[in-house]
Amino acid sequence: METRPRNLPADERRAVTVESVVALAGTRNPSEITTAAIAKHMNLTQGALFRHFPNKEAIWQAVMEWVSERLLSRIDRAAKGIESPLAAMEAMFMSHIEFVTGHPGVPRMMFGELQRAESTPAKRVVQTLIQRYGERLDRLLERGKTSGELSPSLDNEAAATLFIGTIQGLVMQALLAGDVERMRRDAPRAFAIYRRGIGSTR
Partner DNA sequence: TAAGATAGTAATCGATTACTATCTTATGCG
Partner DNA sequence: CGCATAAGATAGTAATCGATTACTATCTTA
Chain residues that interact with DNA, rule: CB under 7 A: 5-10, 13, 32-37, 43-48, 50-52, 54-57
Reported for 40-49, long-range contacts at CB under 8 A and 24+ positions apart, including other chains, are: 41/1, 41/2, 42/2, 42/16, 42/17, 43/1, 43/2, 43/3, 43/4, 43/5, 44/2, 44/5, 49/17
Site stretch for a second copy (CB under 8 A), options 10-18, 50-58, 141-149, 150-158 = 150-158
Q: Which among DNA, a second copy, none contacts residue 48 (Cβ within 5 to 8 A by kind)?
A: DNA
- 69 touches a second copy by CB under 8 A: no
Which of DNA, a second copy, none does residue 102 bind to, with CB < 5 to 8 Å depending on kind? Answer: none
102-114 burial, b at 16+ Cβ within 10 Å, e below that, comes to ebbbbbbbbebbe
Which listed residue (5, 161, 179, 181) binds a second copy by CB under 8 A?
161
Beta bridge partners of 150: 199
**111 near a second copy, rule: CB under 8 A:** yes
Choose the one of a second copy, DNA, none that binds residue 56, judging by a C-beta under 5 to 8 angstroms depending on kind: DNA
Residue 102: CB minimum distance to a second copy, A: 18
**DSSP H or E segment with residue 95:** helix 85-102
C-alpha to C-alpha distance for 100 and 94, rounded to whole angstroms: 10
CA angle 169, 172, 175 (to 5 degrees): 155
Count of positions on this chain that bind a second copy (CB under 8 A): 44
In the complex, which residues of this chain contact a second copy (CB under 8 A)?
27-31, 108, 111-112, 114-117, 127, 130, 151, 154-155, 157-159, 161-162, 164-170, 172-173, 175-176, 186, 189-190, 192-198, 201
